Structure 1
């Protein structure tokens, strides 16, 4: 069954379509099977590169790493912010879940199952009731429900799913209900919880950092705001912690990234979990950018908030927005494009990317075949301009255990052994794939720019045609055919030149109105015949 038919079937019978999708798997090509399959080094994401560098900077400054709680009960927000908490909670995501419904097994439902061909003897119905009771109490995970229902009724899993879909719509119609737990909107909410457990267990001072996701319910995502971001936060805990510790940590941290000068300004936001007058913005100057950038915030935690957690120490907290640092260092203007380039950035392929996707299609696979390919090229190079009709021996002798004779020929009169386009070389320039001749007589404006600025793939038409000829001769000998003729006339497309281009590159070129111009006269002919004996 084709993929589109499987998708269409899924709208009527999901379980059957799902099973059918497993049957559609094809055995991969020999080279795509383990252990022959290999992967080359990949490309890292700029955001995680920045996280790694910040992490390294904290470690070098003597901070130890910690993972803070991600799920925060709203009561912690009230402890930390006091009467300001409702405004803060407005930007938090509350976690919700699907309620576990009471699922009854009335006579009409049993009758519906019976009409579906399900055996509804009392023993099976009792097992089904046990499954639903266990599901309601939370003892049975929701993702095991289909399996347990199927086993209780003694049917296959796809029939169990059909029963749940058609007989018990109360499961399909469930709507999520939010609780009192939020996703961490700022790292501070996690620090208070962590410090409440460890503040009196270790020698002072405590120097800890955590780099992790936070979630904020923004009205919308734009060039400078995402609903999830990474906070690189640290705390210094001691009996006494002066505010200047924040300045020193900020400077030590940001110097790691090349920032050279720093300014500290009072932050007007005045968060209630900080002591009044201590919340400070950090501006740093980066020589390469030539500008001052707001990069971090620090302050001393309020003793009121700390007392809610039984913490009798002083705590300096500094927070750095990872995305902000990454944008500054990489001169990005839109955080969405930087974090999600696959969604927000315009698709682009470099000329080198396209070159990697352009290949000779048929290529000799044996050492004899590759040597023959070189002999064809040498013969063509030596006699390309010979007047026709003409014939030149390429090779005569043993090939893959058989004796063969290979010739380069042109039987038509008043022409040459090869057409002039065989000398063309393929260049890629600004997304265009062009056949560039060695001389300048046929140059267009595009070819002139390609020759001057483009990427030379090193593939001549002659090379690709010789590769196909050698491959076809290998094929002839293996099959036991008596002779073969490989002729090329006019190049109009990639396939005429024994070239193949990956689909992604082809879509890129056509989608941006770029050109693939490989036109030209080839008129090459290679003949091969088996000679008697071995």
Structure 2
């Protein structure tokens, strides 16, 4: 069965809530509502692969990320140049030899706004010398100078930028160190170090990042990716061991049948005819829109390391290595078709919001702060529901009390002074609901039954939002010492008119897809208050 991130999300939320409750944190910070978290598909797949390898009895290690160029030659021989073409070489900025002339001292005094003594200049000179020797790190240079001669950091930054152009003229100098382009580079180095420290057999795994200098990034390749790799070292290891581990590992992810085929690429660090491609069948791929609609996908590769490459590291045993791309597996588990969208959804993925997601992003804008204010909201809503259709002119008491236990007593009424109308307008009971990505403000009548049945209600009616606004304004007016306050709403034309705010994320989603925000209607309700 395909991995269900929502189920894990709810499970993680429940565990987190139980932890916060047991630690008493929720009691100390009651206003902070912790939302449920969301896993990243690649990192969740990394986590599941680690657990899968551990269940098979493998020991986890961290292989070197920075690999010397000479190690690539040891592993690939004459093909090393081709491999290195795909590697990132590391470079660093040199530490310049900085001199301090009389002219520069004068400039330093102007910028630092300090009459530098000979001792101050000597301190700066020593710090520059220590920086040149690597005894002072670049990110500590400004602090060291500022603290030693007692001047502000920002003036030292300005001094370095203006007086010493040597810093701006620095150019990176390449080294012979590369970023690991494939996990094999690290395995040779790790196994060499463990030969006399670890009893046989040695079964290790590592799920970590690799880097490859691709000409471009597209739906199937990135410049950085995760490799889930393992090695088995013993006096005798065969292709059958690779088949066994492949099947045992991948069955834990829902793959059922397996096919093994010789890999035509034939990497030099494998014994000829031992580099095997693993094809596996996953029922979730059947009938999909991808090129794997028949259910079969190439998912891993394994092989037996060449004795020649092993001899270059003084490894006298047989080694089987298996590896697979984590992102490739994650695409299958999550039904993704574009590697960029899966890995970096914040940059590439199109925003997707369900009706439920949009409904959660619709909220009442202004609300009262006090408990009394909350009671006032309920009172206003109650009067409008009970008396909303009464003919006018009319006036009905809603609430009487004070705010925060400090203000004078306030009386609040719902009123309609005009004749030949009603206490509330026809749209006061309209409810905000999301259906097919559209936002509607409609009444619960037969005409709109389908939208209510299929859509997601926010639970907010026009009168609820208006009552919250009225209570908030009355509360503020009373606290400000005002004797009277009147809050009135007439015809609603937009969501702002009815005290509703929609999250900008939802707004961008709706406008980009030309969806409706139809919150309109005559509410015509007035609330008055005065201090007794």
Distance 1:37 1:164 in 2: 45
CA contact (8 A) 2:370 2:403 kept: no
Is residue 346 from structure 1 mapped to residue 342 from structure 2 by the alignment?
Answer: no
Partner of 2:39: 44
Partner of 1:262: 258
Distance 1:498 1:471 in 2: 11
Partner of 1:411: 417
Distance 1:308 1:448, change over 3 A: same
The secondary structure found in structure 2 opposite 1:311 is: coil
Partner of 2:455: 454
Deviations 1:67-126 (A, max 9, x none): 111110011111111111111111110000001111122333233324444434332222
Distance 1:380 1:48 in 2: 52
Partner of 1:248: 244
CA contact (8 A) 1:351 1:428 kept: yes
Distance 1:35 1:191, change over 3 A: farther
The secondary structure found in structure 2 opposite 1:220 is: coil
Partner of 1:67: 62
Instruction: Kindly state the Cα deviation for residue 404 of structure 1 after the two structures are TM-superposed.
Output: 4.2
Instruction: Kindly state the Cα deviation for residue 450 of structure 1 after the two structures are TM-superposed.
Output: 4.0
Is residue 214 from structure 1 mapped to residue 210 from structure 2 by the alignment?
Answer: yes
Distance 1:107 1:396 in 2: 81
CA contact (8 A) 2:423 2:525 kept: yes
Partner of 1:104: 99
Q: Between 398-407 and 506-515, report the one with greater CA deviation.
A: 398-407
CA contact (8 A) 2:203 2:231 kept: yes
Deviations 1:342-366 (A, max 9, x none): 0011223333222222211233444
Deviations 1:187-218 (A, max 9, x none): 01101001001123222211110000010111
Partner of 1:524: 525
Distance 1:218 1:365, change over 3 A: same
Deviations 1:150-174 (A, max 9, x none): 3455422111111110111111111
The 5 A counterparts of 1:466-477 are 466-477=467-478
CA contact (8 A) 2:72 2:80 kept: yes
Instruction: Kindly state the Cα deviation for residue 467 of structure 1 after the two structures are TM-superposed.
Output: 2.2
Give 2:155's match in structure 1, choosing from 155, 159, 168: 159
CA contact (8 A) 1:118 1:153 kept: no
CA contact (8 A) 1:424 1:438 kept: yes
Structure 1: any 5+ residue segments left out of the alignment?
1-32, 442-446
Partner of 2:492: 491
Give 1:316's match in structure 2, choosing from 320, 324, 336: 320
Distance 2:524 2:363 in 1: 22
The secondary structure found in structure 1 opposite 2:506 is: helix
Partner of 1:438: 444
CA contact (8 A) 1:285 1:293 kept: yes
The secondary structure found in structure 2 opposite 1:112 is: helix
Partner of 1:420: 426
Instruction: Kindly state the Cα deviation for residue 481 of structure 1 after the two structures are TM-superposed.
Output: 3.6
Distance 1:154 1:289, change over 3 A: same
Instruction: Kindly state the Cα deviation for residue 436 of structure 1 after the two structures are TM-superposed.
Output: 1.3
CA contact (8 A) 2:183 2:227 kept: yes
Instruction: Kindly state the Cα deviation for residue 272 of structure 1 after the two structures are TM-superposed.
Output: 0.7
Instruction: Kindly state the Cα deviation for residue 499 of structure 1 after the two structures are TM-superposed.
Output: 1.7
Distance 1:167 1:398, change over 3 A: closer
Is residue 91 from structure 1 mapped to residue 91 from structure 2 by the alignment?
Answer: no
The secondary structure found in structure 1 opposite 2:269 is: coil
Instruction: Kindly state the Cα deviation for residue 65 of structure 1 after the two structures are TM-superposed.
Output: 0.5
Distance 2:526 2:92 in 1: 71
Distance 1:176 1:231 in 2: 29
Give 2:121's match in structure 1, choosing from 114, 122, 125: 125
Is residue 76 from structure 1 mapped to residue 71 from structure 2 by the alignment?
Answer: yes
Is residue 386 from structure 1 mapped to residue 390 from structure 2 by the alignment?
Answer: yes
The 5 A counterparts of 1:361-400 are 361-395=365-399
Distance 1:200 1:144 in 2: 41
CA contact (8 A) 2:360 2:458 kept: no
CA contact (8 A) 1:436 1:451 kept: no
Partner of 1:16: none
Q: Between 149-158 and 462-471, report the one with greater CA deviation.
A: 149-158
Q: Between 447-456 and 306-315, report the one with greater CA deviation.
A: 447-456
> What is the alpha-carbon root mean square deviation over aligned residues?
2.3
Distance 2:428 2:183 in 1: 65
Instruction: Kindly state the Cα deviation for residue 448 of structure 1 after the two structures are TM-superposed.
Output: 7.9
Give me the TM-score of the superposition, normalised by structure 1: 0.87
Instruction: Kindly state the Cα deviation for residue 472 of structure 1 after the two structures are TM-superposed.
Output: 3.4
Distance 2:115 2:51 in 1: 63
The secondary structure found in structure 1 opposite 2:159 is: helix
Instruction: Kindly state the Cα deviation for residue 226 of structure 1 after the two structures are TM-superposed.
Output: 0.5
CA contact (8 A) 2:444 2:452 kept: no
Distance 1:314 1:276 in 2: 14
